[in-house]
Structure 1
Amino acid sequence: MKISILAFTANGVALSLKIKEMLDAQGNHTACYQPEKLIVAVNTAGMAEPIAPDLKVFTGRQFAEKDALIFVGACGIAVRAIASFVQDKTKDPAVLCIDEKGRFVIPLLSGHIGGANMLADRISEALNAIPVITTATDINRLFSVDEWAAFHNAWISDLKAAKEISARLLAEKPVGFYSELDIEGEMPRLLEKNENNMGIGICVSLNDRLKPYPITLNIVPRTVYLGIGCRRGTPLQRIEDLVLEQLSRNSISFQAIAGIASIDLKTKEQGLLDFAAKNNLPLHFFSSDELLSVPGKYTESEFVSSITGVGNVCERAALMVSAGGGLISRKVSGNGVTIALAQKEWRVSFEY
């Protein structure tokens, strides 16, 4: 996660630096921010950056760029700072507030989808503080479908249905659970596996059109990777058309796509860059040597090999970016574009 920590007092500064060290050790990218006068007063130049030009403008910029904002100070400061920028739970970053003594850690915004509750738990454990969690499913120790999906990098089809499921669980009523992917470990209380006679349930599948319940909340794991090759100058639309065609043919939701990969000769291929940018998908490039190192049998093209040094770019690229995954659709060609699909291994697990 990209995290910003804002502190406003000397005690808050000391605590913010301690939290940063802990969060960075867990693999996060954390930055500390303080009023410029405070940086001078407590001599934290080089360890913190200034809150400038003012708190409201600064917060707006951080709100758009970061995954989480942590305010070390009074809740009122945090609430006033973020008030103008709050949109909805699918877009807002996690926002937490911690008192300068480190006694209480309070998730204020995006407790589930944004991960504020889990972040609060981790920080509280490190500080020996009390996490002040107020979301109903958490305080009642019930399954939270939106938090679970967000943690496992899965897409949620319908927040209204998610809310209905949470309300049903809070009323101590069972909810159906259907999965096309393997389930490991114990099911959470009140989730009933493969009970299709219920009026409402959760469906975990790469296909968001699968509706086993009258009210179905589709959870789509982002586990599918596109390997793409194309002729020079291929426009975005041709790439998109073949991608959509292959996803439909394989009953895979576009929301299941986790990333795209190609050969490094395509780093300036505008159509490919535009397709990735339009859909906010990470784009990875590999050298011919890296692609040749991927074991397996492929449909090789002598022509492609003479240009790129690799006889099959799309299948090898899809497998490489999926980090040990398997092909679910081999090379398909059309209009100067080649596409293959690989899926990273993923199981339904309720341990997180």
Structure 2
Amino acid sequence: MKWAVISVTEKAVKKAMEVAKKIDCDIYTLPKYSVEGTIQLRDGFRKGVVKIFSEYKTLLFIMASGIVVRTIAPLIKSKDLDPGVLVMDEEGNFVTSLLSGHLGGANSACQRIADVIGAIPVISTASDVSGSTAVDTIAMSIKGKMDSLENAKHVTSLIVGGEKVNLKLPDNVTLSEENSAGVIVLSNRKKVKISQIIPQNIVVGIGCRRGTSKESIIEAVEKAMDKANLHVDSIRKFATVDLKGDEAGLLEAVKYYGRELTVIPREKIVPIEDNFEGSDFVKKSIGVKSVSAPCAILASESKGKFITEKMRHDGITLSIYEEEIRRDG
């Protein structure tokens, strides 16, 4: 994803152009310093930053940190929503990770820009300084979602403080360093702080009758996830057959969960339909024997297994496919 590089002096624009040779980015500057390849901040610096702040994953400001802090302060929401913000001086001597170091990726971006520009990276988050790993860093590396930022903060503080914190892994999680068959947790603590990371690795395949309501589909999804003891936040996407791609109730239910709907063409289902429980009646009606299970596996992007191959509820069929989790790096 493109970075936004913001510069408000002639010298800073030249440095931004150097950055653009190494990193895919949009360069913003004031009209009087605009050159070919830059985007003008026609409404001024502050209003321009307000406009683009949430449009980029990473923002690099080439200017004094004070003006950046005062400008972005009213825009800051939370560490799981804010973009990564970096500040670099005009000479390119130092680049500082200013905001959202872990979840926003500012720390890794800081190291990256330092490497390509030859600057000194300045990263001040406690876990990085101490050489330890924060909970949100683990969450980001497996593209997971934390149940509570507050819990994550408490557990990270234990790690930074030198306390031993156990990492419990389900058997479908593989680390690049080792493949653990089990974990034993031994503690004499009366209270143990726990931070849950919810991997978004569930694909839900859905088939339904024409005209099925949003409420019915949500009820079926909740029932299926509860029965499988799965958190709804672990759903990465939904999938259905092309005939149901415009089904209003299904589209509304997917929107309710804030996920995407992958539509699978029937011709892709036919070669694998015999691998799943199917119906000759459904085959005559829509051209394939089964919908939810093949759609779920075809929409997946990694190896995995079915938690629920088919569950029926009020004219709705659901299949829950769990993708294997691999930690990056």
Structures share a fold, TM > 0.5?
yes
Please, which of 269, 274, 282 is the counterpart of residue 247 of structure 2? 269
Q: Could you tell me which residue of structure 2 aligns to residue 329 of structure 1? A: 308
Counterpart of 1:93?
83
1:63 aligns with 2:90: no
The equivalent residue for 1:138 is 128
Question: 1:298-317 alignment to 2 at 5 Å?
Answer: 298-317=276-295
The equivalent position to 2:117 in structure 1, one of 127, 152, 157, is 127
Structure-1-length-normalised TM-score: 0.84
Amino acid at match of 1:338: T
Deviation at 1:9, TM superposition (A): 2.7
- Give the alignment partner of residue 344 of structure 1, picking from 323, 326, 329: 323
Partner-residue secondary structure (3-state), 1:179: coil
Judged with a 3 Å threshold, the aligned counterparts in structure 2 of structure 1 residues 290 and 128 are, in CA distance, closer, same or farther, namely: farther
Instruction: Report how far residue 186 of structure 1 moved.
Output: 5.0
| Residues 120 and 338 of structure 1, relative CA distance in 2, 3 Å threshold | same
Cα distance in 2 for partners of 1:105, 1:286 equals 45
Q: Tell me, in whole angstroms, the C-alpha distance in 2 between the residues paired with 1:287 and 1:21.
A: 41
Q: Which amino acid aligns with 1:33?
A: Y
Query: How many pairs does the alignment contain?
Result: 324
Which of 21, 26, 31 matches 1:31? Answer: 26
Using the alignment, how far apart are the partners of 2:32 and 2:165 within structure 1?
A: 55
Contact persistence 1:225–1:342 (CA under 8 A): yes
Contact 1:124-1:131 within 8 A present in 2 as well: yes
1:1-352 → structure 2 map (5 Å cutoff): 1-24=1-24, 30-39=25-34, 42=35, 44=36, 47-181=37-171, 182-186=173-177, 194-197=184-187, 199=189, 214-294=192-272, 297-325=275-303, 326-347=305-326, 349=327, 352=329
Q: How far off its partner does 1:198 sit?
A: 5.3
Query: Residue 232 of structure 1 aligns to a residue in which SS?
Result: coil
* In 2: Cα distance, 1:54 partner to 1:293 partner: 58
The list of structure 1 runs, each at least 4 consecutive aligned residues, that deviate by more than 4 angstroms after superposition, is: 293-296
Letter in 2 for 1:152: I
Q: Deviations over 1:136-178 (max 9, x none)?
A: 1101101111122123211112222222222222221211221
**Pair 314,22 (structure 1): closer, same or farther in 2 beyond 3 Å:** farther
Distance change >3 Å, CA 293–CA 16, structure 1 → 2? farther
Is 64-73 or 101-110 further displaced after alignment?
64-73
Single out whichever of 2-11 and 257-266 deviates more from structure 2.
2-11
Query: How big is the shift at 1:23?
Result: 3.5
Seen in structure 2, the aligned counterparts of structure 1 residues 51 and 252 have a Cα distance that, compared at 3 Å, is same
Q: Among the aligned pairs, what percent are the same residue?
A: 28
Residues of 2 paired with 1:35 and 1:303: CA distance?
A: 65
- RMSD across aligned C-alpha pairs, in angstroms? 2.4
- Give, in whole Å, the separation in 1 of the partners of 2:58 and 2:132: 24
Deviation of 1:288 (Å): 1.4
Counterpart code for 2:8: F
- How far is the alpha carbon of 1:238 from its aligned partner? 1.0
Q: Is the 8 A contact 2:273 2:288 kept in 1?
A: no
Contact kept, 8 Å, 1:294 with 1:320, in 2: the verdict is no
Which whole-Å CA distance do the structure 2 matches of 1:253 and 1:155 have between them?
11
Residue identity in the other structure for 1:157: D
Tell me the alpha carbon deviations over residues 266-319 of structure 1, each in whole angstroms, 9 at most, x when there is no partner: 332222222222222122222112333557601122333334332212111111
Three-state SS of the structure 1 residue aligned to 2:166 is: strand
Instruction: Flag the 1:296–1:18 CA change in 2: closer, same or farther, 3 A.
Output: farther
